[in-house]
Amino acid sequence: MKKFNRQFAWNLTIILLVFLLSMWIHPGPLKEEIRVFGGPAFCFYSFHLMVSLLLGKYERGTRYTTAELINRYNLSWILSFLFALAAVVLLQLQHLSRQVIFTNLFGLLAGEYLIILFVTLFRESVPLRDPEEITLAKESGSTGRFLTLREGETGKGALIGSSALENAGPEILEFISNHCPPTSDSCLVADTPDSSPLLSYPEEEFRSLINIRQINRVRHINHFLQVAHSRLRK
């Protein structure tokens, strides 16, 4: 749901910026320009957002490839473009400034491609695996980096599950037994110096996550906490 909200908010921001840009570059008093173009722009962008929701353009509980993102964004824009063209012809809106119309149409397209670029660059900097890969790894019983609380180790210098418990003292073991029983599949115990092993798990996978490594020995602690929080169920 976070990805959906984030991408929807980005789209709203792009829409607002493009509309304000079209008002800024068009000569005339700003209030008068907004009065003339505000209504048609509201109808156009409302249609665009409705089409975007119906097409599932924003990721909700899944992750699209870059090609899928481009296809969905392109299709929603093409349908919105055709809607705007039909409205201008059928409602005889030829008196509206072509400069404003084209700025909104193609400014929206350029802005949405910036969203795709940002999403792609973010995923390359934080390598997350596709849900299909995660499902296959679990079904095949792979012990690579997708491990339960009771299985082996993962990552360089990092331990997951029972291997991590070997480094835990009596107080830590008692705490884990009280708050994260060994039969729980929604709890992850780790002994890791960074966030890299956690990135192999999908978002909102665990109810609790315990890292027994001392916090002052964890590299890039802010990023570690951010990744750990994203793996917890909300």
CA separation, residue 153 to residues 101, 140, 143, 166, 209 (Å): 58, 17, 8, 11, 16
User: Which of 23-32, 113-122, 137-146 is the least confident region?
Assistant: 137-146
The pLDDT assigned to 132 comes to: 43
* 49 phi/psi in degrees, rounded to 5: -70, -40
Quick one: tokens of 80? Answer: 């919105």
The pLDDT assigned to 144 comes to: 32
The pLDDT assigned to 184 comes to: 55
The pLDDT assigned to 126 comes to: 45
What is the arithmetic mean of pLDDT over 51-56? 92
What is the arithmetic mean of pLDDT over 63-77? 87
First-to-last C-alpha distance (Å) of the chain: 10
d(CA 150, CA 142): 13
Residue closest to 48 by CA, chosen among 4, 103, 104, 120: 104
Long-range pairs for 70-79 at CB < 8 Å and ≥24 separation?
70/116, 73/112, 73/113, 73/115, 73/116, 76/48, 76/51, 76/52, 77/48, 77/108, 77/109, 77/112, 79/51
Residue closest to 2 by CA, chosen among 202, 185, 224: 202
The pLDDT assigned to 5 comes to: 85
The pLDDT assigned to 123 comes to: 59
* 43 phi/psi in degrees, rounded to 5: -65, -45
Query: DSSP secondary structure string, 65-88?
Result: -HHHHHHHHHHHHHHHHHHHHHHH
User: Which of 29-33, 123-127, 183-187, 191-195 is the least confident region?
Assistant: 123-127
Quick count: other Cβ atoms within 10 Å of Cβ 154? 22
pLDDT at 119 over 70: yes
Identify which has the larger pLDDT, 147 or 73.
Answer: 73
pLDDT digits 0-9 by tens, 144-196: 333 343 333 344 557 777 677 776 777 877 787 777 765 555 788 888 888 88
The pLDDT assigned to 195 comes to: 85
What is the arithmetic mean of pLDDT over 33-49? 91
Q: Is the pTM for the entire model greater than 0.85?
A: no
The pLDDT assigned to 185 comes to: 59
CA separation, residue 159 to residues 39, 110, 192, 218 (Å): 59, 45, 6, 13
Burial of 116 (0-12, 13-18, 19+ CB in 10 A): middle
Averaged pLDDT score across all residues of the chain: 78
pLDDT at 103 over 90: yes
Q: How far is CA 227 from the centre of its chain?
A: 13
Bridge partners (DSSP) of residue 210 are 189
Burial of 5 (0-12, 13-18, 19+ CB in 10 A): exposed
- Scan for tokens 């990805």, then name that residue: 3
pLDDT digits 0-9 by tens, 209-231: 888 888 888 888 998 999 899 88
**pLDDT-based confidence at 42, cuts 50/70/90?**
very high
The pLDDT assigned to 102 comes to: 92
